[in-house]
Chain A
Amino acid sequence: MKTSNKLLCFFITVILSSCTAELAQIAAHPGVNDPYNPYGISTSSNAPLIALGEGWAYHIGHFLADQRYGTSGSNQTEQTGNTFFTGGGAHPHINVLEGFNPNLTADPFKWIPKGLMEDLMDITNETNPPGVINDAVSGVTISQLFAALQSDVTTVPQYRGRLILQNSGFSATAVTNLFGQYHY
């Protein structure tokens, strides 16, 4: 297949399978008055695919928004805090990913690793609160993150394995440790 066709095939596979998983959970948790709408619970059969698909979706959405808007991006809130304001040189789209806390029991969707891919890329440690995530990995690129999202990778642990397999420039132990801090 041509590269463009491979990409098209990948997008169709991922979008359809991910959306099918989410639609199944929306059906299981219908309406706006269900606290588990739209992603369901962490132990549902669809949760592994949702965690991977949404983890990537939140990351690439904010990553591209930061590329476009940078320090002039609008205020952002995904999970915790209201501190991710524009102004003062802050990057609200990056800070909102950094602020995600997988240990916050109050969040029914804490199992979606919204900050994981940013932590794989950046050189900073976690700040909210300090020390909650010990991020010893940096330098993973968007291309490397994307390349590991293959059609047979449907869970975050599989993704971790593929990412390590495809790349040699970072410590597999540190990557495994970081994933572990996000429930995986």
Chain B
Amino acid sequence: MKFFFIIIPFYVLINAGCGHESCAEANYSFAIQSQVFPDKDSINIGDTLFLISSTPKSMMDIKSNTTIDYTNSINFGTVLSIGELIKDSTIPRGAVFDFDYLSIKGRIYNDVNIPIPNTVQQLTYGESDTQYELKIAIIPKRKGVYAMGVGDGLSSGRQGGSGVCQKASLGISLINPQQHAYFYQLWRPGYTLTDIELKHLYCFKVY
């Protein structure tokens, strides 16, 4: 009898769903580059920083090592975290609202239905004939030392038919020669930033 109590739930799990043929996981994995310019460690209030990123719609899928024509994405996006590095504080202060934003290509917006909207902005790439593109202007409104993080992202599928569940995982890295990580390390002495952190982090001072 005990045997059936064990076997039946596992039979249901294995054969009836719970992960099979679902939209739970990403089908593809793409690598994308991004950059912040001008690459200065200090800027004035009212100056403009640009975050740019683009990728051809035909991309190499790192999982299968094949080129995928990934058109008509639904919500090809990621997040941008912004925190102020305040001396003697161990946690960056959510500083999304210390800046004005302008969407030039794609879109930057704040989603209040997430746990920490004052720390994270949402980014959605625009789709042109050949590329997914993002160009965002970021304009500081107050002084401070800030750490900005471009997160890895996700395409939640493609429009139409069987493409709806063709999710893609987006590994987005910053390629700035100078990311001014010393601001972060000054703020957090003794800590060594990991390679993963350095792929995403950009620091600057507003004065």
Residues of A at under 8 Å CB distance from B?
Answer: 8, 11-12, 15-16, 19, 22-23, 26, 32-39, 75, 77-83, 88, 95, 99, 101-110, 127-132, 134, 136, 180-183
Tally inter-chain residue pairs, CB-CB below 8 A.
192
- Contact A35 B164, beta carbon cutoff 8 Å: yes
Residues on A with C-beta less than 8 A from B63 are 75, 77, 82
Q: Pull 5 A–B residue pairs with CB atoms less than 8 Å apart, ordered by A.
A: A23-B16, A81-B172, A82-B170, A99-B196, A107-B154
Residues of B at under 8 Å CB distance from A?
Answer: 2, 5-6, 9-10, 12-13, 16-19, 21-26, 29-31, 62-63, 74-81, 83, 90-92, 111, 113-116, 119-120, 122, 124, 147, 149-157, 161-162, 164-165, 169-173, 184, 193-197, 199-201
The 9 closest A-B pairs by CB, nearest first: A129-B149, A81-B152, A82-B29, A80-B152, A82-B171, A38-B22, A15-B9, A129-B151, A129-B200
Residues on B with C-beta less than 8 A from A80 are 78, 151-154, 169-170
Distance A8 CA – B161 CA, assembled complex (angstroms): 42
Residue of B nearest to A5 (CB): B2
- Contact A32 B5, beta carbon cutoff 8 Å: no
- Contact B122 A105, beta carbon cutoff 8 Å: yes
- Contact A34 B91, beta carbon cutoff 8 Å: no
A132-B156 in contact given A38-B22, A81-B171, A103-B120 (Cβ < 8 Å): no
- Contact A132 B13, beta carbon cutoff 8 Å: no
Distance A109 CA – B201 CA, assembled complex (angstroms): 25
Residues on A with C-beta less than 8 A from B194 are 127
A129-B13 in contact given A8-B6, A38-B24 (Cβ < 8 Å): no
CB distance from A157 to the nearest CB of B (A): 13
Residues on A with C-beta less than 8 A from B173 are 83
Distance A109 CA – B196 CA, assembled complex (angstroms): 23
Distance A7 CA – B157 CA, assembled complex (angstroms): 39
Distance A129 CA – B79 CA, assembled complex (angstroms): 8
CB distance from B26 to the nearest CB of A (A): 5
Residues on A with C-beta less than 8 A from B6 are 8, 11-12
Contact of A81 among B90, B91, B162, B170 (CB under 8 A): B170
- Contact B153 A131, beta carbon cutoff 8 Å: no
A12-B6, A38-B22, A103-B114 given; name 14 further pairs at CB < 8 Å: A11-B6, A16-B9, A23-B16, A36-B23, A37-B22, A81-B152, A81-B171, A82-B31, A88-B195, A101-B151, A102-B115, A103-B79, A130-B200, A183-B114
Residue of B nearest to A16 (CB): B9
Residues on B with C-beta less than 8 A from A12 are 5-6, 9
- Contact B151 A128, beta carbon cutoff 8 Å: yes
- Contact A105 B26, beta carbon cutoff 8 Å: no
Distance A8 CA – B6 CA, assembled complex (angstroms): 8
Distance A8 CA – B193 CA, assembled complex (angstroms): 44
